[in-house]
Amino acid sequence: MIKLLRRIIQEVNVAGDLDEALTIIVTRVREAMGVDVCSVYLTDPQNGGQVLMATDGLNPGAVRQARLRQGQGVVTLVVERAEPVNLDCASDHPRFMLLPETEEEPYQSFLGVPIINHRKVLGVLVTQRREAGRCDDEQVAFQVTVAAALAGAISHAEASGSITTLLGLRPQTNRRFKGLAGAPGIVIGKALVMNQQIDLDVVPDRRIEDVTAEIVTFLAAVEAVRIEIRTLGQGLSQALSTEESTLFDAYLLMLSSDSLVGKAVANIRTGNWAPGALRQTVLEHVRVFRAMEDPLLQERASDIIDLGRRIMSRLMERDKRTFQYPEHTILVADDVSATMIAEVPLGRLAAVVSMHGSRYSHAAILARALGVPAVMGLLDLPLAKLDDREVVVDGYGGRVYLDPSPAIRAEFLRIVAEEKKLTAGLAELRELPAETTDGYRVPLYANTGLTADLGPARDSGAEGIGLYRTEIPFMVRDRFPGEEEQVQIFRQVLRAFAPHPVTMRTLDVGGDKSLPYFPIHETNPFLGWRGIRITLDHPEIFLTHLRAMVRASEGLDNLLILLPMVYCVSEVDDTLRLLRRAHQGLVEEGYAVKMPKIGVMVEVPASVYQISAFARRVDFLSVGTNDLTQYLLAVDRNNERVANLYDYLHPAVLHTLVQIAQFARTHNIPVGVCGEMAGDPMVALLLVAMGVDSLSMNAGCVPRVKRTIRHFSLQRAKEMLQEVLGFESCTMARNYLDAVLKQEGLSNLVRPG
CA dist., res. 5 & res. 457, Å (int): 54
674 catalytic? Reply is yes
Question: Catalytic: which of 285, 356, 362, 650?
Answer: 362
Q: DSSP states of 420-465 as a string?
A: HHHHHHHGGGTTS--B-TTS-B--EEEEE-SGGGHHHHHHTT-SSE
Greatest CA separation for the chain: 96
Known active-site residue 730 = no
Contact 660, 623 (CB under 8 A): yes
Of the candidates 135, 674, 701, 730, the residue annotated as catalytic is 674
Rg (CA), the chain: 30
Q: List the 37-43 sheet strands across, edge first.
A: 67-68, 50-56, 37-43, 120-129, 109-117, 85-87
Spatial neighbors of 258 by CB under 8 A, at least 6 apart, are none
Using a 10 angstrom Cβ sphere, with 0-12 exposed, 13-18 middle and 19 or more buried, the burial of residue 634 is exposed
Angle at 699 between CA 693 and CA 700, to 5 degrees: 120
| Burial classification of residue 453, based on how many CB atoms lie within 10 Å of its CB (0-12 exposed, 13-18 middle, 19 or more buried) | buried
By three-state DSSP, how is residue 54 classified? Answer: strand
Within 13 Å of residue 187, how many CA atoms lie on the same side as its CB?
A: 24
Tell which residue, 460, 180, 231, 492, has the closest CA to residue 336. 180
Distance CA 90, CA 424 (A): 66
Peptide bond just before 499 cis, omega within 30 deg? yes
Residue 120, beta-bridge partner list: 117
Q: At what angle do helices 714-725 and 730-743 cross, to 10 degrees?
A: 150
Q: Any residues with CB less than 8 A from the CB of 254 and at least 6 apart, and which?
A: 260, 303, 304, 307
State how far the Cα of 64 lies from the Cα of 163, in Å rounded to an integer: 10
Q: By CB neighbour count within 10 A (0-12 exposed, 13-18 middle, 19+ buried), where does 295 fall?
A: exposed
**C-alpha separations of 682 from 158, 163, 708, 739 in Å:** 36, 42, 7, 11
**What does the alpha-carbon distance between residue 316 and residue 354 come to, in Å, rounded to a whole number?**
20
Rounded to 10°, the helix 625-633/651-666 angle is 120
Q: What is the strand order of the sheet 329-333 is part of?
A: 175-178, 399-402, 390-394, 186-194, 329-333, 349-354, 374-376, 180-183
Buried/exposed 469-503: b ≥16 CB within 10 Å, e otherwise: bbbbbbbbeeebbeeeebbebbbebbebbbeebbb
Catalytic positions, written as ranges:
362, 674
